[in-house]
Structure 1
Amino acid sequence: MPSPAAALPAPVRNGTVAWALGFLAYIPVPFLGLIVAGVVQLVVGLGQRKHGGLAAVNGVRAANWGLTQLCWPVLMVITIVLGVATGSPGESGGVHLTPVMRGVTTTLFGLFFLVCVLEAIYAIVGTVLASKGRRVWLPVIPFLRTPRS
């Protein structure tokens, strides 16, 4: 009698898990969810490289998207620090940003919310395409290269 484990088919390795973990961005803690999703997609996506083929391609693309997401919180922190350093103290204890820093800060916060919307789109599209056995070619910053097979 064959063992039950022998009857199970081998798992399909296509990088779906790396894209599906993008939904962690919607942990109901502002900013933290996007950071967690970026880190997890980076780590799991890079882990997909050991499987080779489609899993490696889709995993590295998900890892690149995770790194792209992580750029925004870093840029926001740098911008806020520069804004506070160059601003002037307010009467009620706050900081008045210079007009240039106010514009830069507003633009970065707007782009951050755009990244949040893109995360939903990328998580859905990436998960669906990878689960169908297709390559995910969503536009991301190519920090990492797919290993050659």
Structure 2
Amino acid sequence: MSAAAPPGPPRNGTIAWALGFLAYIPVPFLGLVVAGITQLVVGLGQRKHGGLAAVNGVRAANWGLTQLCWPLLLAISMTIGVLTGSPSPSGGGGIVFTPVMNGVVFTVLGLYFLVAVMEAVYAIVGTVKASKGLEVRLPVIPFLRAPRA
């Protein structure tokens, strides 16, 4: 007669939120992209466990997608800025953005850094709440719906 294996730890989606700390890989811009993709993939993987893990996992996946919007918007605004800009008058090979595109690029860049700060807060709050068995409710863009119970 063999003893049954003890049950594993309860599944609550903590891992999907804790992976947000990958945003602090010391390579500029890469950290947030890696964290966003990882939270998206792992968060969606939590659906198979059902219950609280699925709910918290999908919310972490939504946060991952929200994070990924900013590098994309930054790349798009930089591309438009380059395409609508003019060659540098000093002849250094650079591009001078139009005043409007300067404002757009710097606004998106500022929002990108705000998301980086929010990632620290969200990773801490999400990890702590999920590890306590609570539903994580943080404001994110709801790209994906949590499965119904």
Calculate the TM-score normalised by the size of structure 1: 0.95
Note if 1:115 corresponds to 2:107: no
Q: In structure 1, how many angstroms separate the alpha carbons of the residues matched to 2:83 and 2:70?
A: 20
Residue 99 of structure 2: aligned partner: 99
SS at match of 1:46: helix
Percent identity, aligned pairs only, is 74
Structure 1: stretches of 5+ with no match in the other structure: none
Residue 43 of structure 2: aligned partner: 45
Residue 18 of structure 1: aligned partner: 16
Q: In structure 1, how many angstroms separate the alpha carbons of the residues matched to 2:2 and 2:121?
A: 44
Query: Which structure 1 residue ranges, 4+ long, deviate > 6 Å from structure 2?
Result: none
**Correspondence for 2:26 among 25, 28, 33:** 28
The structural deviation recorded for 1:2 is: 4.7
1:10-64 deviation line (CA, Å, top 9, x unaligned): 2210000000000000000000010000000000000000111100000000000
Residue 84 of structure 2: aligned partner: 86
The structural deviation recorded for 1:135 is: 0.4
1:82 partner letter? I
2:61 partner letter? A
Residue 64 of structure 2: aligned partner: 66
The structural deviation recorded for 1:93 is: 1.3
SS at match of 1:113: helix
Q: CA RMSD in A?
A: 1.2
Aligned length: 147
Calculate the TM-score normalised by the size of structure 2: 0.95
